[in-house]
Amino acid sequence: MHQQKRQPELVEGNLPVFVFPTELIFYADDQSTHKQVLTLYNPYEFALKFKVLCTTPNKYVVADSAGAVKPQCCVDIVIRHRDVQSCHYGVKDKFRLQVSEQSQRKALGRKEVVAILLPSAKEQQKEEEEKRIKEHLTESLFFEQSFQPENRAISSGPSLLTVFLGAVCIGALMLPTLGDVESLVPVCLHLSVNQKLVAAYILGLITMAILRT
């Protein structure tokens, strides 16, 4: 006995809405950009009806502001800017697309798309280029500051072990040599000539290492 597959109950406002692009940019000096196309996708197995709302409807003309999308299909929504004036430069308007099932009135999902009017595409490209340069400089400065303390620690001077070994070698050279009877230092601390030569050799290596740092 086969059980009928039930479609899960859809919660109001929780259905993802797929729209491209998510931002509309109009350029005053380029009339070809005064008309933009929004594409609404329906990847679901049921039909959707949609409605397009706008915060400033007097500035735009929306062709087919309401309609339906078949399952696993898409529809193009043409939006035309009809109030291209310098006073609107940089002002962000919003379009809201609401979708619902054809048999219901409640909105299952919403998606907002930002629309903005800019004076020139060339100025926008220049600003984006300046922004990329600033980001690059910021990243370079960040890495430089990140690695600088480590480099300073490396090149700040000889390590404590090097200084200790150098002091030991200097002390060894200052000790009396075997056979020196007149010395007040205990005989157990007298060093042979070969031992002092080794200490002098090590001290020379340490000195070279310190000079290189």
**Phi/psi of residue 35, nearest 5 degrees:** -120, 120
Count H helices, E strands: the chain? 3, 9
Structure confidence at residue 4 (pLDDT):
45
Q: List, in order, residues 6 or more apart from 197 with CB less than 8 Å away.
A: none
Query: How many whole angstroms separate alpha carbon 81 and alpha carbon 94?
Result: 13
Structure confidence at residue 49 (pLDDT):
95
Query: How many whole angstroms separate alpha carbon 57 and alpha carbon 151?
Result: 60
Structure confidence at residue 167 (pLDDT):
85
Structure confidence at residue 17 (pLDDT):
94
Alpha carbon of 169 to those of 159, 162, 197, 202: distances in Å? 16, 11, 10, 7
Continuous H helices in the chain? 121-155, 160-174, 193-212
* Sequential pLDDT tens for the chain (213 residues): 444 444 545 656 689 999 999 999 999 999 999 999 999 999 999 999 999 999 999 999 998 899 999 999 999 999 999 999 999 999 999 999 999 998 787 889 999 999 999 998 776 666 666 677 777 767 666 665 655 555 444 455 667 887 888 888 888 888 777 777 667 777 777 778 788 788 888 888 888 877 776
- DSSP, residue by residue, 31-62: GGGSEEEEEEEE-SSS-EEEEEEES-GGGEEE
* Environment class of 128 (CB within 10 Å of its CB; exposed 0-12, middle 13-18, buried 19+): exposed
* Environment class of 40 (CB within 10 Å of its CB; exposed 0-12, middle 13-18, buried 19+): buried
Instruction: Give the tokens for residue 176.
Output: 């009396």
Structure confidence at residue 12 (pLDDT):
63
User: Is the preceding peptide bond at 71 cis, omega within 30 degrees of 0?
Assistant: no
For residue 142, give the amino acid letter: F
Q: Classify domain 18-121 by CATH architecture.
A: Sandwich (2.60)
Query: Where in the sequence of the chain do the CATH 2.60.40.10 domains occur?
Result: 18-121
Query: How many whole angstroms separate alpha carbon 9 and alpha carbon 15?
Result: 11
Name the residue with tokens 């960040």.
Answer: 142
| pTM, full prediction | 0.54
